[in-house]
């Protein structure tokens, strides 16, 4: 069985993530969406909340499962016999960091990273931008599914 992991902090999941997960699911027998810690970011939602949002918004994709891991991504891949990492590339600004991570991951463990070009409609979209807009009452309804939008409204209102 060919399995791939789509890793990320998913804080929260956006239509950009869903696009990559959906397209990856057409190329692998199973795609594991793994919520991992990004030590450079602070999170708005707990891991359990993020998992729930991903499960709900990818529920129509039968070969997608959701998991979490605290540790190195390559250790997750090794523990779960996953040989491929799939990541979306939005713009040149993503490239430097993503290339470094892909090379470190390859060198350390032989796990391959495959980059998928983000759909042009999502090229500016990020969870950080969504959180910033939501914080100031901006409209993010075209960027995240409605359930995520509702969760964001509640969270920025302090609930």
CA distances from 78 to 21, 38, 55, 69, 143 (A): 21, 19, 23, 12, 33
Q: Which is the catalytic residue, given 50, 87, 90, 131?
A: 90
Nearer residue to ligand PNS within complex by CB, 36 or 125: 36
Question: Which of 9, 25, 84, 127 is labelled catalytic?
Answer: 127
- Residue 7 or 145 with smaller CB distance to ligand PNS: 7
Residue 77 or 157 having the CB closest to ligand PNS: 77
Instruction: Please report how close the Cβ of residue 150 comes to ligand PNS at its closest, in angstroms.
Output: 22
Report in angstroms how near the CB of residue 41 gets to ligand PNS at its nearest.
6
Quote the CA–CA distance of 12 and 54 in Å, as a whole number: 8
**Residues 141, 34: Cα–Cα separation, whole Å:** 24
The residues of the shown chain that bind ligand PNS, judged by CB under 6 A, are 7-9, 36-38, 41, 72-73, 101, 104
Q: Does 9 participate in catalysis according to the annotation?
A: no
Strands (E) across the chain are located at 3-8, 30-36, 64-69, 84-89, 112-117
> What b-and-e string marks burial along 123-152, b requiring 16 or more CB atoms within 10 Å of the CB?
eebebeebbeebeeeeebeebbbeebbebb
- The answer to whether 41 is a known catalytic residue is yes
Catalytic residue from among 2, 27, 41, 153 = 41
The residue among 111 and 151 lying less far from ligand PNS, judged by its C-beta, is 111
Rounded to a whole number of angstroms, the minimum distance from the CB of residue 79 to ligand PNS is 13
Task: Please list the active-site residues.
Answer: 17, 41, 90, 127
């Amino acid at each position: 069985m060919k399995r791939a992991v789509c890793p990320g902090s998913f804080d929260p999941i956006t239509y950009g993530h869903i696009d990559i997960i959906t397209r990856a699911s057409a190329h692998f027998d199973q795609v594991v969406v793994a919520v991992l810690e990004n030590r450079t970011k602070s999170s708005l939602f707990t891991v359990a909340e993020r998992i729930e949002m991903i499960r709900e918004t990818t529920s129509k994709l039968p070969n997608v499962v959701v998991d979490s891991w605290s540790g190195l991504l390559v250790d997750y891949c090794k523990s779960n016999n996953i040989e491929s990492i799939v990541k979306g590339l939005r713009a040149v600004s993503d490239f430097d960091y993503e290339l470094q991570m892909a090379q470190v991951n390859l060198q350390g463990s032989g796990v391959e990273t495959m980059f998928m070009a983000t759909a042009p409609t999502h090229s500016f979209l990020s969870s950080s931008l969504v959180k910033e807009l939501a914080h100031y009452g901006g409209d993010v309804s075209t960027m995240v599914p409605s359930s995520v939008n509702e969760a964001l409204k509640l969270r920025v209102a302090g609930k």
